[in-house]
């Protein structure tokens, strides 16, 4: 653990470690990944308690979306890393007779991972696994808004992995870190800070990955079963009380389907959280009062179909569905990042595509339809970090799929082999 004053020495120490070359061997990389995995399993109870204290996360949710998620990502990497690191042959032109060419992945050096508060284990450990698997040293900066989790990371990580330093803190610490020269900066969070990170990185020509957010729409076609669709929307939207970067932000659908969903969504919520979500152990809380006040300020739009109850002391906001919301309503201005689901009515698919493409490119676009033609059109005519049909929030569990944004939702990608691409330099080698 380092304070602001110790940051230059901490980075210098990691740079020294990298220079020895030890981090490059496959053996070192596998050892660190196994260490990270051991920490997540041996200290699971402590991490679960911290996540409950910071965000009211249930143990089942912790096991699935935080600890288990990273363990799966590590297992996938452990199984494939040696193969991924094999040199890749490249074809040589006839004008270079007898020559051969290939590419190898070179580690970058010392990388910085800045994590947010909403999945404070997953969004720090999954990039870190990629950085270590690529043979780098890393400084990790957990979010100060999840203080118990940040403390647990600082306590345990150094005992399980080498080549890693934890810097806890907020803006002063992050600002001091950003003054240092890193070989890559991997930032997850909002676009305002994303711009600060990219500006600081430019000074040292440091490459960045920016994993940002945005309003991820759900298009619902008129030909679907509203009961099943409601179940799948609710499962993604209200996970972690809506504080998920790829959460469905709002529903876009025609008026008749909107009516059907207004009927089906309250029942889907009851099935998931019971009659009173405030008493459900499966339902989380808002991270702090600032976000609580921001979210309750958005509740006025449209008609409240279900929810709307809130309690500032316990930072509880009931899962809420708002119908008849207009594009101009404040709830449609920015990413909601909380348990409020507006339904916006559009005439048809053309209008939905126009609505989606008229705004910043989302991190995810979800669609429920039975029509191949609709799927094809959405794939062709819209741009988003990911496009997922019939499932919400599940695409990031596919380790072979890249995870990342485009345009306003970010740049760069990770998970599986894409983490190796991000945290390595693919070096060209030619032999004549």
Query: Can you give the binding site for ligand NAD, defined by CB under 6 A?
Result: 114-118, 123, 141, 143-145, 170-171, 174-175, 188-190, 193, 196, 211-213, 245, 335, 337, 363, 405, 410
Least separation in angstroms between residue 246's CB and ligand NAD is 7
328's CB contacts (< 8 A; 6+ apart) are none
Least separation in angstroms between residue 395's CB and ligand NAD is 12
- 226-237 vs 255-273: helix crossing angle, rounded to 10: 60
Other CB atoms within 10 A of residue 235 CB: 17
Considering beta carbons, is residue 104 or 196 the nearer one to ligand NAD?
Answer: 196
Contact at 8 Å (CB) between 28 and 21? Answer: no
Element spanning 273, H or E:
helix 255-273
Joined together, the tokens standing for residue 123 give 């969004």
Considering beta carbons, is residue 66 or 254 the nearer one to ligand NAD?
Answer: 66
Round to whole Å and give the CA distance between 82 and 27: 10
Considering beta carbons, is residue 126 or 321 the nearer one to ligand NAD?
Answer: 126
Contact at 8 Å (CB) between 136 and 18? Answer: yes
Considering beta carbons, is residue 74 or 261 the nearer one to ligand NAD?
Answer: 74
The question of whether 144 is a catalytic residue gets the answer no
Q: Is the dihedral of CA 120, 123, 124, 129 positive or negative?
A: positive
Contact at 8 Å (CB) between 410 and 401? Answer: no
First to last CA, the chain: 48
Least separation in angstroms between residue 242's CB and ligand NAD is 11
Contact at 8 Å (CB) between 219 and 384? Answer: no
Considering beta carbons, is residue 33 or 145 the nearer one to ligand NAD?
Answer: 145
Q: Is the dihedral of CA 316, 319, 325, 326 positive or negative?
A: positive
Round to whole Å and give the CA distance between 92 and 96: 7
The torsion of the CA quartet 23, 29, 31, 36, rounded to 10 degrees, works out to: 110
Round to whole Å and give the CA distance between 107 and 127: 14
Considering beta carbons, is residue 212 or 241 the nearer one to ligand NAD?
Answer: 212
245's CB contacts (< 8 A; 6+ apart) are 118, 188, 211, 212, 213, 363
State the catalytic residue, choosing from 61, 66, 168, 211: 211
- Which residue's CB comes closest to ligand NAD? 213
Least separation in angstroms between residue 355's CB and ligand NAD is 20
Pairing relationship of beta strands 110-114 and 184-188 according to DSSP bridges: parallel
Contact at 8 Å (CB) between 419 and 129? Answer: yes
Least separation in angstroms between residue 405's CB and ligand NAD is 6
Considering beta carbons, is residue 81 or 196 the nearer one to ligand NAD?
Answer: 196
Active-site residues, by number, are 211
């Amino acid at each position: 653990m380092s304070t602001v004053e110790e940051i230059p020495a901490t980075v210098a120490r990691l740079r020294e470690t990298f220079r020895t070359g030890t981090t490059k061997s496959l053996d070192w990389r596998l050892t660190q990944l196994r260490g990270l995995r051991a920490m997540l399993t041996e200290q699971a109870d402590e991490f679960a308690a911290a996540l409950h204290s910071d965000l009211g996360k249930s143990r089942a949710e912790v096991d699935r979306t935080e600890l288990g998620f990273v363990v799966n990502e590590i297992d996938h990497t452990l199984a494939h890393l040696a193969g991924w690191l094999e040199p890749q042959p490249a074809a040589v032109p006839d004008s270079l007779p007898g020559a051969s060419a290939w590419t190898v992945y070179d580690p970058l050096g010392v990388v910085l991972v800045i994590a947010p508060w909403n999945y404070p284990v997953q969004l720090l450990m999954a990039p870190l696994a990629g950085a270590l698997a690529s043979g780098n040293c890393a400084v990790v900066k957990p979010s100060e808004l999840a203080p118990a989790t940040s403390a647990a990371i600082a306590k345990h990580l150094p005992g399980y992995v080498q080549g890693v330093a934890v810097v806890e803190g907020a803006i002063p610490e992050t600002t001091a870190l950003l003054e240092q020269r890193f070989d890559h900066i991997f930032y997850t969070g909002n676009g305002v800070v994303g711009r600060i990170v990219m500006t600081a990185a430019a000074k040292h020509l440091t490459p960045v990955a920016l994993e940002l957010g945005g309003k991820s729409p759900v298009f619902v076609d008129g030909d679907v079963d509203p009961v099943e669709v409601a179940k799948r929307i609710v499962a993604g939207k209200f996970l972690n009380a809506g504080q998920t970067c790829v959460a469905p932000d709002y529903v876009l659908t025609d008026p008749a389907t909107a009516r059907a969903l207004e009927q089906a969504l309250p029942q889907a919520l009851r099935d998931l959280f019971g009659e009173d979500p405030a008493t459900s152990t499966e339902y989380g809380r808002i991270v702090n009062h600032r976000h609580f006040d921001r979210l309750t300020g958005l509740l006025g739009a449209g008609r409240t179909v279900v929810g709307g109850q809130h309690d500032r002391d316990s930072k509880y906001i009931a899962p809420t569905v708002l119908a008849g919301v207009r594009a101009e309503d404040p709830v449609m201005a920015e990413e909601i990042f909380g348990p409020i689901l507006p339904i916006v009515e559009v005439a048809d698919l053309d209008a939905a595509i126009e609505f989606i493409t008229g705004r910043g490119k989302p991190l995810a676009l979800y669609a429920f339809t039975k029509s191949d033609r609709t799927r094809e059109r959405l794939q062709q005519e819209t741009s988003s970090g990911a496009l997922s049909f019939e499932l919400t929030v599940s695409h990031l569990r596919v380790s072979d799929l890249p995870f990342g944004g485009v345009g306003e939702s970010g740049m760069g990608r990770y998970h599986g082999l894409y983490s190796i691409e991000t945290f390595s330099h693919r070096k060209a080698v030619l032999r004549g």
